[in-house]
Amino acid sequence: MENLLPVCSLCEIKTIHTKSEAYCEFNKKKYCMQCISKLTTSIVPTSCKPVNVNTDLKENASISIGSWDKCSTHGHKERLLCVTCNSPVCVLCVPNHDLHKFQSIEDLLVEYLPHFYEIDFLTKYAQKDIKNDIEGLKVLENKNIKAFNKLQNQTSGIILNKCRNKIEKYSKRLQEKVPFYSGKILSSIVYQLKNPYNYEERLGTFMHWIQWNSSNFFTYNILTNITTAHILPEELKFPHFCRSIQISSSKILACGGRDQPNGNGLTRAFIIDFKPFSVKNIPDMHSGRANHLLIFLSNFVYVIGGCDHENKYSNRVERLCIKKLTWELQANCNEIRDSSAGVGIESENALYVFGGRYSQKTILTTVEKFLVDSNIWISLDIKLKYSGMVLGSIMVSEKDVLIFAGQDENAIPLTKVNLVNLNTNEVREIEDFSQGGCVLNEPVFYNGKVYTFVFVSGSSRKICSWDSKTYVWNSIISQ
């Protein structure tokens, strides 16, 4: 029985027992009790349930404005902030600030106020870890609450200035006192704690692939080695060069593609639930897509690049909020990319995108990183050791990404595989996998092995696995 229990992810020796089991929400690992002392405040119960903290401030707390400051020139209420000058103004002042940017002070307060709640939440949460400065955190907690309460019924100018100053000051102190918070966006930490996500819960032990220009899609159970065929309703088909991704253990998002092999990218998207079977149309994407990249991260699906509604190579990015089923535009990536690969890393709240095609005969070896909180793309000092497109990629450790080569500019399958360390930027070639080929759907990492579908033809795939300890490839089955 002892051998059946999981071992600690840190020491890799001690067995995890039910009563002493602990789970790190941010890197998705289990630890023995002796190793917990080496970790940060990210330890939460292994059940992966949302973290509840009894806060003094409410998440939707508001502040009453006692009175509005009035413009000394026009006598009107100063309801706007000139962002360029960083000064409150009235509506009659606007023409005197030619080409300047303005924001509503009320809108700014709505944006600022939740930060008091976040500081309250995180100071209380950090006090659960005895390694932290508990007394210092209590002092900070009380100051934050008092500052919020003192803002009630003050003038608009005082509230605006105090809000910005206090939030900046207390956020900085909190990050100094709790190393795990350092360098991170506090609102993202709160979100991750309250909305825990588990990779295995989303994918389970299933993989899937869709057959283009048909109504067929297939699921494969890693544990049972059973493939199941599914058929869409008669009026529905998966378009040519459509892409799909699993958004839960029984749901698949499919989007984009082309009606004809050389047609324009489509905007259509729909969700398939195969337990019980149903198909739900969702709002269209902002841009047409074909041969695009899909990445799942924190209950969002990011859609990157591909060929757009004019059949032009694109660097456009948008994301689907799974809860609201709405599309949100994001910053464009630095390079035009079609048929690229990518991964999302929860602990960083970031995306990494690898390789792909820049034009019909230009294949990329470059890597970009998207910082979700900042909504910016950064070109990294990493180069893949081959030029490939229609690649697949999967995280095989906290910082190692396995990247398949896919095919070259002449559509010749490549057998190359790279292992990229995102900490050191080291790129290693590992043993090639037999015959190679394109990886169109998201691989699965389960029990130390990577499982993936490899393209054989429009109506056929083979299933391959890779052992992360022995680096041995195994071809499981063709279908």
Q: Which of 64-78, 115-129, 201-215 has the lowest mean pLDDT?
A: 201-215
CB neighbour class for 449 (10 Å; exposed up to 12, middle 13-18, buried from 19): middle
User: What residue ranges define each of the domains in the chain, with the CATH number in brackets?
Assistant: 1-49 (no CATH), 54-196 (no CATH), 199-478 (2.120.10.80)
CA distance 394 to 342: 8
CB neighbour class for 419 (10 Å; exposed up to 12, middle 13-18, buried from 19): middle
The pLDDT assigned to 2 comes to 42
Question: Confidence band (pLDDT; 50, 70, 90) for 16?
Answer: low
Residue 199 pLDDT exceeds 80: no
The pLDDT assigned to 477 comes to 64
Question: Bridge-partner residues for 279, per DSSP?
Answer: 272
**Residue linked to tokens 């499981």:** 476
pTM of the model: 0.64
**Residue linked to tokens 């020491």:** 11
- pLDDT tens for each residue of 448-460: 889 999 988 888 8
457: closest CA among 415, 416, 411, 418?
411
The pLDDT assigned to 40 comes to 36
CA distance 415 to 413: 7
- pLDDT tens for each residue of 325-366: 999 999 999 999 999 999 999 878 899 999 999 987 789 999
Characterize 31-49 residue by residue with b for buried, 16 or more Cβ atoms within 10 angstroms of its Cβ, and e for exposed: bbeebbeebbbbbbeeeee
The pLDDT assigned to 197 comes to 55
Question: Bridge-partner residues for 231, per DSSP?
Answer: 216
Residue 18 pLDDT exceeds 50: no
Residue 203 pLDDT exceeds 80: no
Cβ pair 217, 238 in contact under 8 A: yes
The pLDDT assigned to 109 comes to 86
Degrees, nearest 5: CA angle 375-331-257: 130
The pLDDT assigned to 241 comes to 96
β-strands 362-371, 376-383 pairing = antiparallel
Is 413 in a helix, a strand, or coil? strand
CA distance 220 to 465: 13
Q: Which residue has the higher pLDDT, 444 or 34?
A: 444
Question: Confidence band (pLDDT; 50, 70, 90) for 45?
Answer: very low
The pLDDT assigned to 37 comes to 45
Q: What are phi and psi of 180, to 5 degrees?
A: -65, -30
The pLDDT assigned to 1 comes to 38
The amino acid occupying position 172 is K
Residue 92 pLDDT exceeds 50: yes
Average pLDDT, the chain: 85
The pLDDT assigned to 89 comes to 94
- pLDDT tens for each residue of 367-380: 999 999 889 999 99
The pLDDT assigned to 408 comes to 85
The pLDDT assigned to 451 comes to 92
Tokens of 54: 């009894």
